[in-house]
């Protein structure tokens, strides 16, 4: 398996964290290439990447003069790489030793992911916990994957869209799958759904192999109206791709309704900011179909505002809990 994995990293203004990402990837003997796409950074992201590699020829840094977003950066990295397996690594995260050996040993997969531990920033660089955990492996189907991304009032964020699987290049190429460059929110979720719609075998291990850095505001639920509109279109396309009798249709419909509610609420708040309460009311009532999802979004926001926030675990939080 030596050299069979290409690790691709989309990075923008990541000078302070990219070194840990690059060095963790290069420490794996299964990694044959690390492609960093510097997406229009205003800092020394590229230079920090090179310094972390210490002259390792497996690293390539590709510079974009303007930011085109993580989806476009990842697509460019995929195009520039050649290894048969592709692993996505965020610029502020890292992989654990043995991760790729474990994932590549799993049988019959097109996407293979492992568990993630979310670590506070002040614990990230000196994490010493035994995160590997159990080796239980399950097959993740479309229904379970989408259900694992549905919003639940009062629940801590833990969407399965956070998973960072290793992807078989042959499967992506055979089905013409790449990241949707129109998405700057939910681009991972969208790619995984389209892969599952194409029949992908998605293997998920409960063993932790991926470290995610949690910084204040890094997991914020606040997103721009245009980002939500693009994701709303994507979830509509997912729903349109399945038959009415498909068992995944109910959860795809719920996900589309949730994104629609979030988009309409954000657009209504934009109307209020631009034209006051009268403009917001007009938006909510014209067309009348806007009113119910906006009212539901307002109610959900008020409930969340009055809920007692769950303090972050100083020792880190694991995405997939035993039995989940």
Structure tokens at 190: 């969208």
Q: Is residue 314 part of a domain?
A: no
Do 121 and 244 lie in one domain? The reply is no
Distance CA 259, CA 265 (A): 10
Q: What pLDDT score does 219 carry?
A: 40
Output the CA angle 214-209-16, nearest 5 degrees: 40
Last residue of a domain, one of 220, 248, 265: 220
Q: Which residues of the chain have pLDDT under 70?
A: 1-2, 126-134, 152-158, 216-222, 302-315, 322-324
Do 201 and 60 lie in one domain? The reply is yes
Q: Give pLDDT tens digits for 221-231.
A: 457 899 999 99
Distance CA 74, CA 9 (A): 7
Q: For helices 249-285 and 225-240, what crossing angle results, to 10°? A: 140
Do 62 and 182 lie in one domain? The reply is yes
Q: What pLDDT score does 263 carry?
A: 94
**How many domains is the chain partitioned into structurally?**
2
Distance CA 40, CA 37 (A): 9
Say what the pTM is: 0.90
Q: What pLDDT score does 220 carry?
A: 44
Q: Give pLDDT tens digits for 63-88.
A: 998 889 999 999 999 999 999 999 99
Residue 43: CB partners within 8 Å, gap ≥ 6?
Answer: 13, 14, 15
Q: Give pLDDT tens digits for 137-185.
A: 999 999 999 999 987 655 544 589 999 999 999 999 999 999 999 999 9
Distance CA 31, CA 7 (A): 7
Structure tokens at 302: 């008020």
Q: Is residue 312 part of a domain?
A: no
Do 66 and 172 lie in one domain? The reply is yes
Last residue of a domain, one of 182, 205, 220: 220
Domain range for 244: 225-306
Do 51 and 183 lie in one domain? The reply is yes
Distance CA 12, CA 42 (A): 8
Do 231 and 197 lie in one domain? The reply is no
Do 88 and 203 lie in one domain? The reply is yes
The alpha carbon of residue 250 and the mean position of all alpha carbons in its chain are separated, in whole angstroms, by: 23
Q: What pLDDT score does 321 carry?
A: 76
Question: What string of H, E and C letters represents the secondary structure of the chain?
Answer: CCCCEEEEEEECCCCCCHHHHHHHHHCCCCEEEEEEEEECCCCCHHHHHHHHHCCCCCEEEEEECCCCCHHHHHHHHHHHCCCCEEEECCCCCEECCCHHHHHHHCCCCCEEEEEEEEEEHHHHCCCCCCCCCCCCEEECCHHHHHHCCCCCCCCCCCCHHHCCCEEEHHHHHHCCCCCCCCCCCCHHHHHHHHHHHCCCCEEEEEEEEEEEEECCCCCCCCCCHHHHHHHHHHHHHHHHCCCCCCCCHHHHHHHHHHHHHHHHHHHHHHHHHHHHHHHHHHHHHCCHHHHHHHHHHHHHHHHHHHCCCCCCCCCCEECCCCCC
Q: Report the CATH number that the domain containing residue 51 is assigned in CATH.
A: 3.90.550.10
């Amino acid at each position: 398996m030596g050299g069979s994995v290409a690790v691709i990293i989309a990075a923008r203004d990541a000078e302070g964290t990219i070194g840990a990402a690059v060095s963790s990837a290069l420490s794996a003997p299964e990694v044959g290439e690390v492609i960093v796409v510097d997406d229009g950074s205003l800092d020394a992201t590229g230079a920090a990447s090179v310094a972390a590699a210490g002259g390792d020829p497996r690293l390539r840094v590709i510079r974009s003069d303007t930011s085109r977003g993580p989806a476009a950066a990842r697509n460019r990295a995929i195009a520039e790489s050649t290894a048969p397996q592709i692993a996505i690594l965020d610029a502020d995260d890292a992989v654990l030793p043995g991760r790729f050996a474990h994932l590549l040993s799993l049988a019959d997969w097109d996407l293979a992911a492992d568990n993630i531990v979310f670590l506070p920033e002040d614990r990230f660089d000196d994490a010493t916990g035994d995160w590997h955990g159990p080796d239980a492996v399950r097959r993740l189907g479309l229904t379970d994957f989408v259900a694992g991304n549905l919003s639940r009032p009062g629940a801590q964020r833990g969407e399965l869209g956070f998973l960072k699987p290793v992807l078989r290049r042959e499967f992506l190429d055979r089905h013409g799958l790449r990241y949707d460059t129109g998405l700057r929110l939910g681009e991972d979720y969208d790619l995984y759904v389209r892969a599952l719609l194409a029949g992908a075998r998605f293997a998920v291990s409960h063993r932790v192999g991926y470290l995610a850095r949690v910084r204040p505001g890094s997991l914020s639920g606040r997103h721009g109206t245009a980002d939500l509109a693009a994701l709303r279109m994507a979830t509509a396309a997912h729903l349109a791709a399945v038959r009415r009798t498909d068992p995944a249709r109910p959860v795809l419909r719920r996900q589309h309704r949730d994104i629609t509610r979030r988009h309409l609420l954000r657009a209504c708040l934009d109307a209020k900011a631009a034209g006051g309460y009268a403009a917001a009311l007009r938006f909510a009532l014209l067309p009348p179909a806007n009113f119910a999802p906006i009212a539901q979004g307002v109610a959900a926001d008020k409930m969340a505002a009055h809920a007692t926030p769950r303090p972050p675990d100083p020792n880190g939080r694991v995405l997939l809990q035993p039995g989940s």
